[in-house]
Structure 1
């Protein structure tokens, strides 16, 4: 049995306050991970899915195939990491833990999770950029069950009225030119979320990374260019001042009004887009000089926590392998509104639903927030980044000064 450091676990509890940016319902309950003979426990962040859902039925199916019963407990995403850390202290961890990808390094650093080398999970088919979100150092902890990310929704009616050809939008310069044309024609340009929380960082990162900036150097010229882009849009009226307080939900509501040409938002809004009442399209977020910018990945990893009884690992491996098989990943990705983490399943998704093609492109260019071996450093960096965005967009500081202050605070 691996020994846990009480100090590391306590610190990890403090760090596990990373906020989910896609949102879930309240927990349907809690419970001990302790299981009766023949029963294996699964903890997940999907309280919105009851026992009749495709996800719950898949869990039961995988249990049946492994010859065991499944006891499933769902928690709110923000609650799950703390529950997992506390359970580890008591040697009472779930057999399988499905957890938001930015939290994986926190749990790994605390010694809560086994590595794929230890549990012999095969991750060879998973896209490397998605797998990176669950890596710390040279080790991998679990495998992604799916991913969501950000892209640009656009209102085809507004673009048609204002004479903007969407095929011309290839980089920052052409996007800004399109926004200028839209505004001159009397329409609204672009809406996004720049709120002072993880949501604000999440939405800023594609522009930050798209400029070539790195999270280890918040005050670089590239980072300043990205923040100056957003600030310039507000100053010219291409984006509303409301973005400073917008969540991704309120930003979507602005776009759904039908007045805006563009909105930065996520895969999870696809169902709402179909109900918006106007013709829309989706474009991967452009990088500064063209091509697709790396947007941050959302989505969960399926992991195997450390157990005092190592004999439980064999069945846990069977359960994870079942949940992440090619056939079942397609079921799961559809049920959770995710893009699958493997090329083979992504191709199946695109065949069944061509509307997912720009999202698959975006996911292929996406990047984990804790990638680049940031691990548990990310929450501190993110907080300073969203503070810099707030300071610049409110006019309190120039982009350069706001980012210099952020970098100083991180150090």
Structure 2
């Protein structure tokens, strides 16, 4: 694909979809320079969303090591997650894309639709070891764009002390009915039930999706009976006092802070809070979010994909593929995903993680049941659907509309 055709395809729609897609989950902060790569100089550029890792970090050293193995020098630039997608689109317009791009998985389909990243067929990248449900987040139109480097997702943290005082056996919590019964016992014992994030942003949709999917609902039908049952569950929890009204404004961070106070029995949150859980000194456990009638609900996957942007000089793909293969090899994934508090995207490395830390098993189970937000070939349709979903959640929980009416309005708006 030549530079001019890439330029034509970078539409306003792609930019709008990207702006929504990058506002999600567990993001780091920071920025980097936008210096161009030295074309033909034996230097390959890598952009990543990990500014928290400096030149002396294990991550930066891994990039350099992979470069050495491929026979090239690495020029790395780290961006804030929220900046990286837009910087990538701009670089493509200017014909100055990085050779390797590590990007939040919901953004992959937007970049693919804009024509700025290659397919694995283009670069002969082997993705056979990645778990299919995680790989699906980078698939669109029957094609695969890159490979996952790690995944995080949502589960229920629980406070063992609070549950013991309320007489709740965590083994009894297997579905929505038993979870709600546990919350009723906790409230009766004078403690607080469950906290989560229902804020009117992508974080709110991200946290609602396990319940939405756990009811059997599909993103193509926001007003289904299953979807209404999921929103009614949350609404009922607020009405009964099992969840606080603060969930309407809670981010995942403020929701976690509520749980860390030690008063709550449950909190919906992600793997990225594991270090904070240890710091809080709570006697906690982790439970995959139950589906309505039992089993594990599909929770949305967070985490990044390693992709290879389109280049005018397609001869660069061979080395870019070597770099990507090195970064996502089983030998390197364990250290990388441990550093990032991610669950690895391959079963072999997941098993190694659990062997080293048995506490990761609920997270591995949750990731194995997880689902990409842009899966089912939704691609760039997802941001619009998500926006209407979080608006419906806000309307229902605030009492301005019933769950059914809120979701009917949401589906009408998507159409």
Give the shorter-chain TM-score range. over 0.9
* Aligned-residue offset at 1:273: 0.5
Correspondence 1:172 to 2:176? yes
* Aligned-residue offset at 1:89: 1.3
The answer for the alignment partner of 1:373 in structure 2 is 377
Correspondence 1:61 to 2:68? no
The answer for the alignment partner of 2:290 in structure 1 is 286
**CA distance in 1 between partners of 2:195 and 2:94 (Å):** 46
Which sections of structure 2, spanning at least 5 residues, go unmatched? none
- The answer as to whether partners of 2:17 and 2:384 remain within 8 angstroms in 1 is no
**CA distance in 2 between partners of 1:107 and 1:7 (Å):** 10
* Aligned-residue offset at 1:187: 0.4
TM alignment of 1:285-364, pairs within 5 A: 285-364=289-368
The answer for the alignment partner of 2:195 in structure 1 is 191
**CA distance in 1 between partners of 2:13 and 2:412 (Å):** 23
1:275 is paired with a residue of what secondary structure?
helix
The answer for the alignment partner of 1:15 in structure 2 is 17
1:16 is paired with a residue of what secondary structure?
helix
TM alignment of 1:28-47, pairs within 5 A: 28-35=32-39, 37-47=41-51
1:4 is paired with a residue of what secondary structure?
helix
* Aligned-residue offset at 1:409: 0.4
1:71 is paired with a residue of what secondary structure?
strand
TM alignment of 1:220-299, pairs within 5 A: 220-299=224-303
Correspondence 1:120 to 2:110? no
RMSD: 1.0
**CA distance in 1 between partners of 2:35 and 2:17 (Å):** 23
* Aligned-residue offset at 1:365: 0.1
- The answer as to whether partners of 1:143 and 1:301 remain within 8 angstroms in 2 is yes
**CA distance in 2 between partners of 1:353 and 1:406 (Å):** 42
* Aligned-residue offset at 1:20: 2.8
Q: Deviations over 1:317-370 (max 9, x none)?
A: 100000011010111111111000000000000011111100000000000000
The answer for the alignment partner of 1:155 in structure 2 is 159
* Aligned-residue offset at 1:33: 4.1
Structure 1 residue ranges (4+ consecutive) displaced by more than 2 angstroms after TM superposition:
7-11, 28-36
Tell me: CA distance 1:47–1:35, structure 2 relative to 1, closer, same or farther (3 Å): farther
**CA distance in 1 between partners of 2:282 and 2:353 (Å):** 24
* Aligned-residue offset at 1:11: 2.8
Select the residue among 91, 94, 97 that pairs with 1:93: 97
The answer for the alignment partner of 1:81 in structure 2 is 85
* Aligned-residue offset at 1:278: 2.0
**CA distance in 1 between partners of 2:33 and 2:185 (Å):** 51
1:99 is paired with a residue of what secondary structure?
strand
Q: Deviations over 1:369-404 (max 9, x none)?
A: 000100000000000000000000000000000000
**CA distance in 2 between partners of 1:324 and 1:7 (Å):** 30
Tell me: CA distance 1:36–1:73, structure 2 relative to 1, closer, same or farther (3 Å): farther
- The answer as to whether partners of 1:210 and 1:293 remain within 8 angstroms in 2 is yes
* Aligned-residue offset at 1:7: 4.5
* Aligned-residue offset at 1:27: 1.1
Tell me: CA distance 1:121–1:346, structure 2 relative to 1, closer, same or farther (3 Å): same
- The answer as to whether partners of 2:24 and 2:206 remain within 8 angstroms in 1 is no
**CA distance in 2 between partners of 1:58 and 1:190 (Å):** 40
The answer for the alignment partner of 1:386 in structure 2 is 390
Aligned length: 411
* Aligned-residue offset at 1:5: 5.0
- The answer as to whether partners of 1:34 and 1:94 remain within 8 angstroms in 2 is no
**CA distance in 1 between partners of 2:30 and 2:347 (Å):** 33
The answer for the alignment partner of 1:140 in structure 2 is 144
- The answer as to whether partners of 1:20 and 1:100 remain within 8 angstroms in 2 is no
- The answer as to whether partners of 2:31 and 2:79 remain within 8 angstroms in 1 is yes
**CA distance in 2 between partners of 1:59 and 1:7 (Å):** 31
Q: Deviations over 1:15-64 (max 9, x none)?
A: 21121311211214333345460100000111111111111110011001
